[in-house]
Structure 1
Amino acid sequence: MKSLLVLLMLIIAGTGVAFSQTQGAMNKEAAQSYKEADKKLNDVYQQILKDYAANKTFINNLKEAQRLWIQLRDAQVKAMFPAATKSYGSMFPVCKANYLSELTQQRTETLLVWLNGLPQGETCTGSIGAKE
């Protein structure tokens, strides 16, 4: 019985060590997730620019919308974390990167409709699919 208890304690202790991360590692992981989300957004945006290149009016409006979205994203981050960076503690880099990832993924989903289209029967398509 004593051996079983010792074995169980070793397993639990080993599991805890296997899942622990340093703050630096968490920061790096969150930053990498944001970098990947940003890359996906840029890939989608570039593909739209390519696919809709003949529709100059749309392209100009999309570029303006993207520029304004970046300003909105940055303003949202400032609204979420208005105090000095150090006041949020050591988790701030993770929290900020996670929030940036979330906002970026939302924007990517918004832009994807120009590549993937809308559901069958949707009548309010606007510029979606108007590649010329």
Structure 2
Amino acid sequence: MKRMLLGTALALLIAGAAKAADDCDNASDQTTMNVCAGDALKKSDKQLNDLYKQVEARLKDDADTTKLLVSAQKAWISFRDAECTFSSSAVAQGSVYPMIYAMCLDGLTQLRVKDLQTYLGCEEGDMSCPVPAAQ
């Protein structure tokens, strides 16, 4: 009986996840669009944090460059947040604001993801790259 209940619960969770993804593809109300934009940002932010940790790990033997990375990342976060506050200010009092703000954050986060991926793809001997090649 417990297995049957567990199986049913699991099936409902899977169906709920599929429905949520479908809701985002066909969102027709602002609340759903806001939630979907927030979910996309969370996914991008996780990707960014994972890549940042990889870059940090490659710099573990270089404290000075690690400090520069930390400084750059803090400055980038400040820029991203300020830019998105500015660019979404026209709708700051509206129900669309959470979606517009999250979409801005997500877009800039994806650009930063690409930057970090580039650093992680540097080849040995690339003097223009601050991150050592993978060993």
Normalising to structure 2: TM-score of the pair? 0.70
State which of 111, 120, 127 in structure 1 corresponds to 2:130.
127
Supply the distance in 2 between the matched residues of 1:39 and 1:49 (Cα, whole angstroms).
15
Q: Structure 1 residues 76 and 36, CA, compared in 2 at 3 Å: closer, same or farther?
A: same
**Percent identity of equivalent pairs:** 30
1:79 shift after superposition? 1.9
Letter in 2 for 1:56: A
Match of 2:106 in 1: 101
- Match runs of 1:62-77 below 5 Å: 62-77=69-84
Displacement after TM superposition at 1:100 (Å): 0.6
In structure 2, what residue type is equivalent to 1:25? T
Deviates more, 1:34-43 or 1:107-116: 107-116
SS of the residue corresponding to residue 120 of structure 2 reads helix
2:28 is matched with which residue? 21
2:18 alignment counterpart:
none
* Of 46, 57, 64, the match for 1:39: 46
Structure 1 gaps of 5+ residues are 1-17
Deviation at 1:85, TM superposition (A): 1.8
- 1:82 shift after superposition: 3.1
Q: Give the drift of 1:43.
A: 0.5
Counterpart Cα distance in 2 of 1:78 and 1:109: 22
Q: State the TM-score, normalized to the length of structure 1.
A: 0.72
Larger Rg: 1
What amino acid sits opposite 1:69 in the alignment?
W
Unaligned runs of 5+ in 2: 1-24
